[in-house]
Amino acid sequence: PELHAMVERLAQRAGMPMPKVAIMRNSVPNAFATGRSPKQALVAVTTGIRERLSERELEAVIGHEMSHVRNRDMLVLAIASFFVMLTSFLMQMFFFNMLFGGSRRENNNAGALMLVYAITFVVYFVGQLLVLALTRYREFDADHGGAELTGDPGSLASALEKITGSLALIPEKDLRQVKGAAAFMIAPLALKGGGGMNLFSTHPPVQERVRRLR
């Protein structure tokens, strides 16, 4: 009931419909939101995060997730990812065409097919990097929006430090259980034992997020 009331309070403050609330029975301290619009949103927290964070820190984390919902980040990323998936499909189609195409006409066009395949591969690779850059930007934006929603950026910074600082203590079984949803969580499992920025990160470094919030 306390969690439900917290989410309801933040939804009213943000002028949003009340999302569904879910609890994952897992010791990994984390939370995530999903849904393509505020009317179809779900906010989930793990039992691990409820045990490790104070009430103010948990509210700050939920504010971050509610900001994702308000900004329709799931929809934005789904659209961006669709074009990358389309390029991937075309790339595979060209590859198998070159591999198994046996007619004389296809052999004569092998050079053109190779060029098209190379261009498609470059577009796919660049598209992947752009989608990942977009996800990192949306995390910074959700931090900002969540801090404004709760009026407490310090608690969100403290929560991020607690979450990432405790990942090394989590049983491997629980980590595997939530691996599929890691990219959607406030702090991905990839940050266990580190958190440096690179082009293939779904999230910005926690140290930079904390610095901005402070």
Q: Which residues are catalytic?
A: 65
Q: Which residues contact 176 (CB under 8 A, 6 or more apart)?
A: none
DSSP string, 10-65: HHHHHT-PPPEEEEE--SS--EEEE-SSGGG-EEEEEHHHHHHS-HHHHHHHHHHH
183 and 135 in contact (C-beta within 8 Å)? yes
204 and 141 in contact (C-beta within 8 Å)? no
* Long-range contacts at 112-115 (CB < 8 A, ≥ 24 apart): none
Widest Cα–Cα separation across the chain: 71
Measure the CA–CA gap between 97 and 105, rounded to whole angstroms: 12
Alpha carbons within 13 angstroms on the beta-carbon side of residue 130 total 13
